[in-house]
Amino acid sequence: MFKRLAEKGPAISITVDGKPVTARAGDTVASALLGAGIDHCRTTPVTGAPRAPYCLMGVCFDCLVTVDGVGSRQGCLIPVREGMKVETQLGRREAGR
């Protein structure tokens, strides 16, 4: 859906669901997911439908992910850090876990 204009800035290594992903300095968690072509970041609590970042400005809360063990963080507001562990979230009120 997105490509980078230029591979500028130092590379930052994070993991998403345990798999290595290369982000760039200046990325947020949500933009790193988009840049890596990851198609959704959570499933909804009610129907389990997949969701991906929608507004990228802190309004929609569709980019909620688990960051370093803390759940339901707004991925679009959190800058990536070297070694950061990002996990996609299963909604469905934890029943499926």
Partner 1 sequence: MIAAADLASSYELVVIGGGPAGLAAATLAARAGVATVLFDENPGIGGQIYRAITSTPVSDRAILGKDYWDGAVLADEAKASGALIANGATVWSLDRQRLVGVSIGGKARVIEAGRVIIATGSQERPFPIPGWTLPGVMTAGAAQTALKAQGLVVEGRTVLAGSGPLLWLLAAQTLRAGGRIAAILDTTPRRNWLQAMFHLPDFALSPYFAKGLALLREVRAKVPVHRVGTIEAVGTDRVREVVFSGAGGTRRLPVDLLLLHQGVVPNVNLANAAGVAHVWNDRQICFVPVLDADFGSSVPGIAVAGDGAGIAGGTAAAERGRIAAIAAVRALRPDSVVPDTQAIRQRLQREEMGRAFLDWLNRPADSFRLPVGDTIACRCEEVTAQQVRETAQMGCEGPNQMKAFLRCGMGPCQGRLCGLTVTELIAAERKTSPDEVGYYRLRPPVKPITLAELASLPISEVERKAVER
CA 10/CA 65 separation, integer angstroms: 24
Q: Which of 11, 13, 17, 77 binds partner 1 (CB under 8 A)?
A: 77
Q: Are 43 and 52 in contact (CB under 8 A)?
A: no
Contact between 39 and partner 1 (CB under 8 A)? yes
Minimum Å gap between C-beta 20 and partner 1 is: 19
Instruction: Enumerate residues 6+ apart whose C-beta is below 8 A from 37.
Output: 1
- What is the residue whose two structure tokens read 């840049």? 35
- Residues lying near partner 1 in the complex (CB under 8 A) are found at 1-6, 8-9, 24, 26-28, 31, 34-35, 39-40, 44-47, 49-62, 64, 70, 72, 74, 76-77, 79
